[in-house]
A and B are shown apart, each in its own frame.
Chain A
Amino acid sequence: MTLLEVRDLVTDIGSARVVDGVSFRVAAGETYALLGESGCGKSMTALSLMRLLPDGGRVSSGAVELGGADVLGLPEREMRHVRGGQMAMIFQEPMLALNPVIRVGEQIGEALALHQNLAGQPARDAARALLDAVGVPDAARRLDTYPFELSGGLRQRVMIAMALAGQPRLLIADEPTTALDVTIQAQVLDVLRRLKDERQMGMLLITHDLGVVAENADRVGVMYAGELVEEGARDIFFAAPQHPYSRMLFEALPRPGDSGRLTTIPGQVPPLDGAMRGCRFAPRCPSAVARCRDEAPGWQTINGQQVRCHLAGTLPASNARAFAAHAHPTHAAQVLLQVDGLKVHFPIRRGFLQRTVGHVRAVDDVSLDIRAGRTLALVGESGCGKTTVGKALLRLIEPTAGSIVLGGETITAKNAPAMRRQAQMVFQDPFSSLNPRMRVADILLEGMDALGVGAASQRREAVMQLLNRVGLPDDAGGRYPHAFSGGQRQRIAIARALAVSPRLVICDEPTSALDVSVQAQILNLLKDLQDSLGLAYLFITHNLSVVDYLAHDVAVMYLGRIVEYGAAADVLRAPRHPYTLALVSAVPRIEAQSGPGIIRLAGDQPSPLNPPDGCHFNPRCPYASEICRQTYPDRTDLGNGHWVRCHWVAAQA
């Protein structure tokens, strides 16, 4: 039974046509995934359905039918009952979508009062039942908490509970797990899947993550530049994507066991306010022919899949990825960075005299070493202290204890300038890491000027070389950062770090703010730079597929401590620590899951202010025993430099 039918939806915002002729159907009990990069019109499609477009936006033509009723023709009064009552939406950022000064129970009660006319004790009971349904533990108590008291995963569940309060028939989930950690993402996606089956809801899932689509969707629509370009059932789509754009999205993903170059999609999504001619993807398509540039392709059906491409069906089944063997110096490289017993404790001050009453142990006894020309990935969920490690290494945060030896020299507060020439950092958000009031050339010159690298007269020359090296045009130096896209900005940030010719670059989630195709470009660039300059990377990330692609060694962090350490192949293929096992299995995969069953972790990471006794992981660990609650485990060596800190593994060995 078709629940939602969208026909030829066209939405304009000002002069930009953000959604152009989109048609699809969602059946009850089915999950339809809209997939695409940012700026392709996915969210605008959802907002058009809800009639919640931003100022200046309007649906120009097309029809939206929900259970046979025309949604676009309803007066605003009745539309208010449709929103929440018939279709509900959950947003990407749960902190922004919940009112921070109203208790969770009241916020859910508001929706219940509106759609089910419940008040008082019945409403409270209904709210508790909803929280139970979305898997919030201790639901009765949570009703009286404020949103800031809840963790990200719980907040997103509260959002879902609110969306369910009106018993909607269609649930629109706009990037529901993008802001969450993998283990939490897995929990939230489980909840969504279960609720959809229980209540026979239709679900429109908007995401850029192929893995999430593969695990959750029944049917998939790929959007590009405001248009749907491919649509089909999940299994067929994942087996043989037909549109070149879909294929390139697949190829841009780093996959396990693959050290070749990633396919990148050159260029960017075209601006939507210009006149479109021919196929919208043609300028970025490697197989485009003359016809693609002149004639907009219509729908073709191949194996039950619909695709908008002139060449559909004629393209070779799948481009084999070019395997350029990277010559890695596997051994004999010198140890470049050696960290021993690094601790960063932040004092907590209370009271009138600001007395220290305790410490947040953000980083607690971390030891690691990186050899020249190799990559160590530091993996963990947000809040585990991995960024603090990176900043403490550069003495951007003063470490509390521990020794740092860089290039054979112990780094202290006194010789920090010498260290700064050898180690630099690339930050996560390319928008906040470049000063908007400085031109690119000045940004690149800053480090050279401050550290006195090279003769002053040659620095301008050096800037040109840097820009070339990271693949930016020569005239980029004279422009301000706002003239560049996210990927280009990240290149500028990399060039800035390289300006002082460091030997170690600390990359703090350099691709997490970027689209998949752009992420591939940056990963390729980092790999090329490592090959040509012999750089060592400390790669801080939560994205395990990136780790698999780039890293030689992996350190897994949990609550300020490293719990597993070893060669990337060992740790990711044969994880031993229960936490690593959970992390690896929580990553949504495109391929069917193999190996050990999926481990779903319960609960959230505890606060580093008050870590649990014994092994920090014991409250969430499925294998925890009495000893885990009493003593912190020692290192258990597993050979080949692979070690874990776990009583359970030690008992097995």
Chain B
Amino acid sequence: MSAAFNFMPVILWTDALIFALLAAVLVLVWLIRRQEHLRAPWRGVAQRPMAMGAALVLSVFVVIGLLDSLHYRAKLPDSPADAPQYSVEVLSVFDALVEGLRTRQEKTYSAPLAMQLYAKEFVQREGVTVRDYPRLQHGGAHLAHADERLPDIAGRALAGAAQGALAGLLVFAGLAVWQARRSQVSVGTWLAAWRGGRLGWPARTVVLMVTAMLMLGGALMQLAAGYHVFGTDKVGQDVLYISLKSIRTGLVIGTLTTLVTLPLAIGFGIAAGYFRGWVDDVIQYIYTVLNSIPGVLLIAAMILIVQVYIESNAALFDTAAARADIRLLALCLIMGVTSWTGLARLLRGESLKLRTLDYVEAARAFGVSHARIISRHIFPNVFHLVLIAMVLDFSGLVLAEAVLSYVGVGVDPSMYSWGNMINGARLELAREPVVWWQLVAAFAFMFTLVLAANLFADGVRDAFDPRLGGRL
């Protein structure tokens, strides 16, 4: 049936898990919407300008990550129609959208927005062989002379920003008309309310943030059409493309690992603190033992096992992407298994404290079952810890991936990831002159993602904390 199309969809393991996670989140959202008292704190989150701004940034990352998780293999152009053959290269919808970035490869390093390579070569110029910086094949290829570069860059950036601003204005106009019609007031009234910040949600922040992001995106798109915005790497690949592709890896590591961590940490941590006695002893022994083994050792062992498994079952993994993917999944699993102990210890301590509180005693006086006490009294009162730990872990895991890739037990070297970029930067920083843009690009993207996640989590925590009474 896929013969009708000129591609074959590929579902990698992590794709399946990511979309399962997405479905779970959507179901949760639907459930929360139906329950007034569950919806209220989230409405509180939506009223916090900082949280909403961070959520917008996060959503851009998530959308890119999701688009990058829809994989397919293109049909080879010369394959027969009745027995189609597909490329061994697994692409994603995101690749198709930024086709240009992926295909416009240079020979080797070039600086951001450059029109020449970063290293001198012997080039033929007007019949004479000279040693000079050769022109790039794509970056700045439309320019006739080096003097035109700066005005062209400025012009493109301004044009892109203007286009972004225009798009932002259109979005805003659409929002204004829609909202005004929904609340049955004139557009003028709605605009006045918007300006005065009287809408009950941080509309000003959202509109400004969207416009700013559209302007940045517009400028990037305009520049990327003619230049390599973040330069190119050793093999001439566009660094912007690598950074964007790394988003998915970062998100997968951050979310799937947390998914492995949470049930272990919550289950063991609360059980140890609540039941005490031998349950506590057993769980404590488990995590003390686990903690006393160096995590890197476990991870290296796991990666080796997976490597051997892949090699002995080569038939199961028909593409390089599938092999890299299973290694990523294994990494998530083993990182999850090694990193639950900290949160579990925290939850154990908190549960020890909570179980002696009067409301737990009152529930016991009613004969409420242990499962119910844990789910209604203990868990909701440690949830903020889980939430904070989740976000801190998310950032920590994204960073841990970089360290592990450096040691060589991280993601597959063929996979795009910030860790691999930083690992590569190790050698580039030792060069003279220094190649700094890969490190800066990886840093900028990681920083934005982690900062947005932290700010969003702050907003969530404040909104969920009943002691703050939902105050802004």
| A residues in contact (CB < 8 Å) with B | 391, 394, 396, 416-417, 420, 424-425, 427-429, 432-439, 442-443, 446-447, 450-451, 478, 480, 482-483, 493, 496-497, 500
Inter-chain contacts of B383 with A (CB < 8 A): 437
Contact B466 A437 (CB under 8 A): yes
In whole angstroms, what is the CA distance A446 to B364 when docked? 11
Contact A394 B365 (CB under 8 A): yes
Inter-chain contacts of A497 with B (CB < 8 A): 362
Contacts A437-B381, A439-B37; A482 near B469 (Cβ below 8 A) = yes
Chain B minimum-CB-distance residue to A443: B359
Inter-chain contacts of A493 with B (CB < 8 A): 362
Contacts A436-B466, A437-B381, A450-B372; A417 near B367 (Cβ below 8 A) = yes
Contact among A428, A436, A439, A443 for B467, CB-based, below 8 A: A436
The answer to the question of B408 belonging to the interface, with a C-beta cut-off of 8 Å to chain A, is no
The answer to the question of B434 belonging to the interface, with a C-beta cut-off of 8 Å to chain A, is no
In whole angstroms, what is the CA distance A443 to B363 when docked? 9
Contacts A450-B367, A480-B466, A482-B467; A436 near B381 (Cβ below 8 A) = yes
Residues of chain B from 13 to 63 with CB closer than 8 A to chain A in the complex: 37
Residues of chain B from 451 to 467 with CB closer than 8 A to chain A in the complex: 466-467
Contact among A429, A433, A447 for B366, CB-based, below 8 A: A447
Interface bits B161-186 vs A (CB < 8 Å: 1, else 0): 00000000000000000000000000
Chain B minimum-CB-distance residue to A424: B365
Chain B minimum-CB-distance residue to A448: B366
Contact among B37, B361, B376, B466 for A446, CB-based, below 8 A: B376
**Interface size bracket, B side:** 20 to 34
Contact B466 A482 (CB under 8 A): yes
Interface bits B341-379 vs A (CB < 8 Å: 1, else 0): 000000000000000011101111111110010001100
Q: 6 shortest A-B CB distances, which residue pairs? A: A433-B358, A437-B380, A427-B358, A447-B366, A450-B368, A435-B359
Q: 12 other contacts beyond A450-B372, A482-B466, with CB at 8 A cut-off?
A: A424-B366, A432-B357, A432-B359, A433-B357, A435-B377, A442-B376, A447-B366, A450-B367, A478-B37, A480-B466, A482-B467, A483-B469
| B residues in contact (CB < 8 Å) with A | 37, 357-359, 361-369, 372, 376-377, 380-381, 383, 466-467, 469
In whole angstroms, what is the CA distance A435 to B373 when docked? 11
Inter-chain contacts of B466 with A (CB < 8 A): 436-437, 480, 482
Chain B minimum-CB-distance residue to A439: B37
Nearest CB of A to B377, in Å: 5
A-B pairs under 8 A by CB, number: 71
Chain A minimum-CB-distance residue to B381: A437
In whole angstroms, what is the CA distance A438 to B364 when docked? 16
Contact A500 B366 (CB under 8 A): yes
In whole angstroms, what is the CA distance A75 to B470 when docked? 40
Nearest CB of B to A426, in Å: 9
Chain A minimum-CB-distance residue to B384: A437
Contact A434 B359 (CB under 8 A): yes
Contact B358 A428 (CB under 8 A): yes
Inter-chain contacts of A436 with B (CB < 8 A): 381, 466-467
Inter-chain contacts of A425 with B (CB < 8 A): 361-362, 365
17 residue pairs from A and B, CB less than 8 Å apart? A396-B361, A417-B367, A420-B366, A424-B366, A425-B365, A427-B358, A435-B359, A435-B376, A437-B380, A437-B381, A437-B383, A443-B359, A446-B363, A446-B376, A482-B466, A483-B469, A497-B362
Nearest CB of A to B140, in Å: 57
Contact B361 A391 (CB under 8 A): yes
Inter-chain contacts of A446 with B (CB < 8 A): 363, 366, 368, 376
Inter-chain contacts of A432 with B (CB < 8 A): 357-359
Chain A minimum-CB-distance residue to B37: A439
Chain B minimum-CB-distance residue to A502: B365
Inter-chain contacts of B376 with A (CB < 8 A): 435, 438, 442, 446
Contacts A438-B376, A482-B467; A433 near B362 (Cβ below 8 A) = yes
Nearest CB of B to A493, in Å: 8
Chain B minimum-CB-distance residue to A419: B367
Nearest CB of B to A507, in Å: 13
Nearest CB of B to A320, in Å: 39
Chain B minimum-CB-distance residue to A483: B469
In whole angstroms, what is the CA distance A417 to B365 when docked? 9
Nearest CB of A to B365, in Å: 5
Nearest CB of B to A486, in Å: 14
Inter-chain contacts of B364 with A (CB < 8 A): 396
In whole angstroms, what is the CA distance A391 to B361 when docked? 9
Chain A minimum-CB-distance residue to B469: A482
Inter-chain contacts of B366 with A (CB < 8 A): 420, 424, 446-447, 450-451, 500
In whole angstroms, what is the CA distance A416 to B364 when docked? 11
Inter-chain contacts of A428 with B (CB < 8 A): 358
Contact among A435, A438, A439, A451 for B367, CB-based, below 8 A: A451
Inter-chain contacts of B359 with A (CB < 8 A): 432-435, 443
* Most chain B CB atoms below 10 A, which of A428, A432, A437: A437
In whole angstroms, what is the CA distance A428 to B359 when docked? 11
Nearest CB of A to B37, in Å: 6
Contacts A437-B380, A482-B466, A482-B469; A429 near B363 (Cβ below 8 A) = no
Nearest CB of B to A280, in Å: 24
Chain A minimum-CB-distance residue to B372: A450
Nearest CB of B to A101, in Å: 21
Contact among A396, A438, A442, A480 for B365, CB-based, below 8 A: A396
Inter-chain contacts of A416 with B (CB < 8 A): 367
In whole angstroms, what is the CA distance A442 to B376 when docked? 10
Inter-chain contacts of A451 with B (CB < 8 A): 366-367
In whole angstroms, what is the CA distance A506 to B466 when docked? 29
Contact B362 A420 (CB under 8 A): no
In whole angstroms, what is the CA distance A391 to B380 when docked? 25
Inter-chain contacts of B380 with A (CB < 8 A): 435, 437-438
Contacts A437-B466, A480-B466; A496 near B367 (Cβ below 8 A) = no
Contact among A420, A429, A439, A442 for B358, CB-based, below 8 A: A429
Nearest CB of B to A414, in Å: 12
In whole angstroms, what is the CA distance A451 to B372 when docked? 13
